[in-house]
Amino acid sequence: MTWTIGIYLFDGVEVLDFAGPFEVFSTAARVHGRQEPPSPPPFVVVTVGHGPGPIVARGGLRVQPAFGFEDHPELDVVIIPGGAIDAELERPEFEAWLRRVGSSATITASVCTGAFLLGQAGLLDGKRATTHWEDLEELRKDREELAKDREELRKDRAERQEDRRELQRDKAERRQDVRELQRDRRENRRDVRQDRHDR
């Protein structure tokens, strides 16, 4: 079985954070190919970016991601590197993509401050997580705030669902009232016809 490893690249990404995993998995596949040439590689490594153009990593290194959000192959492993992540935290299409691939991938992992991106997408809920030691306290606070925000969001959704159920009950009651009114009218018309016939 070949696992497809997807590494996300973005402007300001730390070079070591994406190049290290890329080198580990691609080298493992290359060594496997030399040792067992007829068998398929254990890993295929791809890079994914949010747009069609190159990204500029920390230090000015320009890298062209192989795929975008919509055209990459199915990912078995998703790796989110760290770096200058502020812009990614404000990119809703990235968060939506991360939630989508994170829910279907076998493994979703982060390097360094990439943990903040996983946390914002809700992929750390109920899990233990770590990051660079200098950012541990901030990660802890962020997760507490996100947990509160999500709890409020869950309550709001529950209230909206209850409101919708109440509305559906009201509609059902109104439909029942209409059916009863129509039945009463039919019975009245039938009584009128019967009275005319009797006379």
For residue 19, indicate whether it is catalytic. no
Q: Coil, helix or strand for 27? A: helix
Count of alpha carbons within 13 angstroms of residue 19, beta-carbon side: 10
* Rounded CA separation 197/199 (Å): 5
Sign of CA dihedral 20, 22, 24, 30: negative
Q: Which token pair is 180?
A: 């009863």
- Active-site residue (options: 13, 111, 112, 115): 112
Task: Please give the positions annotated as active site.
Answer: 112
